[in-house]
Structure 1
Amino acid sequence: MKMNNAKLFLNICKTNIRTISTKRRKYPLDPEGVNQLPVFDYAVSKSTYNRLFVWGAVPTGALGIPYQTKDLKRIEQIRYPKRSSLAEYNEVTKIGCGFGFTAFGVNSDSNVKLYGTGLNTDSQLGYHEVRTNKPLGILYFPQPIHLPFMNPEKATIKKLSGGRAHFVVLTNEGLFLLGNNAYGQCGRSIIADECYSGNKFIHHIKNIDGKAVIDIQCGQDHTLAITEDGAVYSCGWGADGQTGLGHFNCQDQFTKVQGDIASERILKVASRSDFVLALNDKGEVFGWGNTEYAQLSLKDDIQQIANPTSIEMCKSLGKIKDIASGGSFCVVLTEEGRVFVWGYGILGTGPAVQYSKTPLEIPLTLFGVNDFQPDTQVKSVTCGVNHICAVTNNGDLYTWGRNKGGCLGLKDDKDQYFPLRVAISGYVKHTACGVDHTVALCKPFI
């Protein structure tokens, strides 16, 4: 009886095997009977996907990455471009750096269009709190910054710029200004003894003098705006003449800058500290503010100038297409891709700290121009307080200057006296510089 049962079981198994072998198996096995192959949707699948890289000082939180290793050792610096996970889950389109903080604009269908990380001592990144209702002075990871948009779903971020403790956002709904307003740099009335820690107020300016704002720039404690007609407006700290308003006082409302740019159409302004460069549509350059490092060569060794002044020595360089201003030096880029520097600091033309009252040209070979790549050109320049970035038409990034916090991204902490290419896994589109950190927005190789 047991033997018959065993034979019967064996016959049933053979029959089942024969039946299964004659049927074509579909992958994956689908118990619901829906004959579809799996569709894998990755965060990098969009054609508009950008990569985000950060490097420099870690303790401020400006990089938005962990500041401790797995064995709890504190990380002080990231000396090479480190890929940020924020861009893996968000379409990052704009970047901006302040003194120890960073902001990221994203393309989103939700009401969250902006993220911030780093120092938040003056609520320059908005109001954030812990469970004890205590405002956070540092954001170690990117957090949403909620702006009071009229139409959140259709709002877009156009540009970001940060100063020492204030932050300005240019959107299709106008300007939003956050943080410290002790000198009027947020374009609103100065309130004596105002407490900025935990401050929830965000100042909104729809337009200036009835004109739309098309560009913004934050200096250390002042703000500059360009309107649609090419006029420049400024507010904030003016002790060195950096507001360009003809005086050395604080200005708490955006006021039109006159001087030599009164009738000019300005395309761009650049200021990282207390000196300002301006570029008009003819490729001419103007400057004002603190000139103690020969940013402007003036008679009688005047060190502060409060009126925009034409920089005549730049006219012999050719038509200028980009400008950048650091703490003690200036950089201009011509249409031919030639880079000139002057002022005081590590200018990039020799193995020492330099001081020059006239523009010095950095050899093109230092930016990768050679017999194999004769068409290589620098297409943009950006400054931190003490370092400089240049991006070529090939998407290569070159940095030089003081290497505070490892902000040059060259895998060491040594100062760099001439441009050196940064090893970064992507085509660099835009860079933003703080005091001791740098951020790059890149297009992937593939």
Structure 2
Amino acid sequence: MMNSARSCLLSLVSRKQLTRSRGVKHWIDGKPRRKHPVNPEIEDRLPVNKYISEGTRPDNRVYTWGYAELGALGNRNLLRPKNGKKPYTYLHRPMRLWFAELNKVTDVACGYGFTVMAVNRPDYKLFGCGLNTSSQIGQQEARAGHPLERVTSPVPITIPVDDPSIKVTAVACGRSHTSFVTSDGAAYTLGNNAYGQCGRQVLEREDYSSNATVHRVPVDRPVRTVTCGQDHTMFVTECGRVYCCGWGADGQLGSGAFDSRWQALPAGGDLEGERVVKVACSADCVLAVSESGDVFGWGNSEYAQFASVTEEQQLNVPRRLPLGVGKVTDVASAGTMCAVLNAYIVFADRGEVYVWGYGMLGKGPELDVSKEPSLIPPTLLGRNDFSPDNTPVSVVSGLYHLSVTTSGGDLFTWGHNRHGALGLGHTEDRLFPLRVSIPARVTKVACGVDHMAALCREYI
């Protein structure tokens, strides 16, 4: 009897606790009644609130793969795995980066062993990870006076921008320096400045590991985008002019000379009067495409990149390249290979990728040298009877490999597969384009020497 009474008492206590936790005022006929009941006649018409943050939007995905030991993939668990597993030397398949789940990444760039991401946040606008021997991802210290030469997960880069409304709109990385552009048209650089690639005066014996100077480059017109070669930097202004600074021994500054300089000055030659929309360079061979679809080139031509206009191995002034492939919308320049994408025209067989130069050009072992643009068959890049509208929309190159992104969000890679940089699940070189398995729609790709990063959207 006492046990039964005790059970009833416990039941009453738990019922009262449940009532308080649910905001119930009292009980009627053994049923709880809420203090503010919902009118059943208007219940269906009440709004349904769904809460979602900017960091969990469907278009907020970043995947990384390739060489992992320097931390450029942004995943600390690869270098310090749990459960006694061995650290990863490389990752030959794309892995979803946790950092992008908490931050809205708007742009990404890969340097030589490091990665930099632009983020839409009011406080920190730039993050980086990986190799930091020249402070190319800012001043990162374990403690005062002890700079970190390697950072294994994304950390904020302090930049001289105080206005929270100003955003980083473009970012680029070279061998050991970084450059970015803000929404107010300003261009900044940081990292190694041994050749003036940061757009500031070269200081003898400057210690870059402990001097994370973020320098605003004095360009006399608003800058729209930036591209970094190996040791030089190119700024494209809103009016379409190209300003260059840094290493120029191969003519990659387009100044008519073979000298290096720290001042960012406009390239001349055939670019005079042209509105450039994009510049591409992974080493010292530069390609540019104008608003009208013409292609221009300057810099290193040791592998016949500019055989259509010169027999010399260096070209120190921009020249219009008579490629004969129609209107061009995108360009890519690797260490020894070049690629262009022409415009897609409805009811015409366009939207095609052409390659030339020396190396694994993407057409098998029979073609490793070409002085003229050679068409990659569209079927190798995803266009077939099942997806006839799947056409290439961009081409991007690393130092030893090339990649193509299609309108369907597919990514194709080929070339030298150093440390699994192609993302194909192995480390073997590939002579033909192959599709990278990413469970998302690829919108932008960044290529380093031996790693890659992809900015993606969800399929739904």
Tell me whether the two structures share a fold, i.e. TM-score over 0.5: yes
**Aligned with 1:324 (options 317, 324, 332):** 332
Q: d(CA) in 1 for partners of 2:129 and 2:13?
A: 62
**Aligned with 1:155 (options 166, 173, 185):** 166
Q: Which residue of the partner structure matches residue 121 of structure 1?
A: 133
Amino acid at match of 1:155: I
Contact 1:243–1:306 (CA under 8 A) maintained in structure 2: yes
Measured after TM superposition, the shift of residue 18 of structure 1 is: 9.7
Answering whether residue 448 of structure 2 is matched by residue 443 of structure 1, we say no
User: Residue by residue, what CA displacement relative to the aligned partner does 1:357-382 show, whole Å, maximum 9, x if unpaired?
Assistant: 01111000011111111111001110
Q: Which residue of the partner structure matches residue 361 of structure 1?
A: 375
Contact 1:48–1:91 (CA under 8 A) maintained in structure 2: no
User: Residue by residue, what CA displacement relative to the aligned partner does 1:287-324 show, whole Å, maximum 9, x if unpaired?
Assistant: 00000001100577310010001111x1x211101101
Measured after TM superposition, the shift of residue 285 of structure 1 is: 0.3
User: Residue by residue, what CA displacement relative to the aligned partner does 1:205-233 show, whole Å, maximum 9, x if unpaired?
Assistant: 3x522x10011100000110111111111
Measured after TM superposition, the shift of residue 50 of structure 1 is: 1.0
Structure 2 residues not aligned, in runs of 5+: 26-33, 38-48, 344-349
Measured after TM superposition, the shift of residue 353 of structure 1 is: 6.5
CA change 1:48–1:35 in 2 (3 A) is farther
Q: How do 1:290-309 and structure 2 match up within 5 A?
A: 290-297=300-307, 301-309=311-319
Amino acid at match of 1:351: P
Answering whether residue 429 of structure 2 is matched by residue 403 of structure 1, we say no
Q: d(CA) in 2 for partners of 1:14 and 1:127?
A: 66
Contact 1:128–1:198 (CA under 8 A) maintained in structure 2: no
CA change 1:224–1:16 in 2 (3 A) is closer
Give the fraction of aligned pairs with identical amino acids, expressed as a percent: 42
Answering whether residue 424 of structure 2 is matched by residue 416 of structure 1, we say no
Q: d(CA) in 2 for partners of 1:442 and 1:353?
A: 32
Measured after TM superposition, the shift of residue 191 of structure 1 is: 1.1
Contact 1:55–1:409 (CA under 8 A) maintained in structure 2: yes
Answering whether residue 365 of structure 2 is matched by residue 351 of structure 1, we say yes
Contact 1:246–1:307 (CA under 8 A) maintained in structure 2: yes
**Aligned with 2:355 (options 332, 338, 341):** 341
Q: Which residue of the partner structure matches residue 117 of structure 2?
A: 104
Answering whether residue 403 of structure 2 is matched by residue 389 of structure 1, we say yes
Q: Which residue of the partner structure matches residue 176 of structure 1?
A: 188
Q: d(CA) in 2 for partners of 1:128 and 1:317?
A: 47
Amino acid at match of 1:304: Q
Measured after TM superposition, the shift of residue 72 of structure 1 is: 4.8
Q: d(CA) in 1 for partners of 2:252 and 2:277?
A: 18
Answering whether residue 148 of structure 2 is matched by residue 140 of structure 1, we say no
Q: d(CA) in 1 for partners of 2:215 and 2:55?
A: 37
Q: d(CA) in 1 for partners of 2:356 and 2:454?
A: 25
Q: How do 1:64-79 and structure 2 match up within 5 A?
A: 64-66=74-76, 67-70=79-82, 71-79=84-92
- Structure 2 counterpart SS, 1:435: coil
Measured after TM superposition, the shift of residue 48 of structure 1 is: 5.6
Q: d(CA) in 2 for partners of 1:17 and 1:127?
A: 61
Q: d(CA) in 1 for partners of 2:310 and 2:405?
A: 37
Runs of 4+ in 1 over 2 A off after TM superposition: 9-21, 25-36, 39-49, 298-301
Q: How do 1:34-113 and structure 2 match up within 5 A?
A: 46-47=56-57, 49-66=59-76, 67-70=79-82, 71-109=84-122, 111-113=123-125
Q: How do 1:207-246 and structure 2 match up within 5 A?
A: 208-209=219-220, 211-246=221-256
CA change 1:78–1:13 in 2 (3 A) is closer
Contact 1:352–1:417 (CA under 8 A) maintained in structure 2: no
- Structure 1 counterpart SS, 2:257: coil
Q: How do 1:195-214 and structure 2 match up within 5 A?
A: 195-205=207-217, 208-209=219-220, 211-214=221-224
Q: Which residue of the partner structure matches residue 166 of structure 1?
A: 177
Q: d(CA) in 1 for partners of 2:7 and 2:129?
A: 64
Amino acid at match of 1:333: L
- Structure 2 counterpart SS, 1:260: helix
Contact 2:114–2:131 (CA under 8 A) maintained in structure 1: yes
Q: Which residue of the partner structure matches residue 3 of structure 1?
A: none
Q: d(CA) in 2 for partners of 1:330 and 1:276?
A: 9
Q: d(CA) in 1 for partners of 2:62 and 2:36?
A: 39
Measured after TM superposition, the shift of residue 347 of structure 1 is: 0.4
CA change 1:300–1:202 in 2 (3 A) is closer
Q: d(CA) in 2 for partners of 1:44 and 1:155?
A: 17
- Structure 1 counterpart SS, 2:146: coil
CA change 1:69–1:318 in 2 (3 A) is same
TM-score (norm 1): 0.90
Q: Which residue of the partner structure matches residue 269 of structure 1?
A: 279
Measured after TM superposition, the shift of residue 68 of structure 1 is: 3.7
Answering whether residue 261 of structure 2 is matched by residue 251 of structure 1, we say yes
Q: d(CA) in 1 for partners of 2:427 and 2:64?
A: 16
Contact 1:50–1:92 (CA under 8 A) maintained in structure 2: yes
Measured after TM superposition, the shift of residue 332 of structure 1 is: 0.2
Measured after TM superposition, the shift of residue 131 of structure 1 is: 2.2
Amino acid at match of 1:79: H
CA change 1:86–1:304 in 2 (3 A) is same
TM-score (norm 2): 0.88
Amino acid at match of 1:358: E
Measured after TM superposition, the shift of residue 54 of structure 1 is: 0.2
Report the number of matched residues. 432
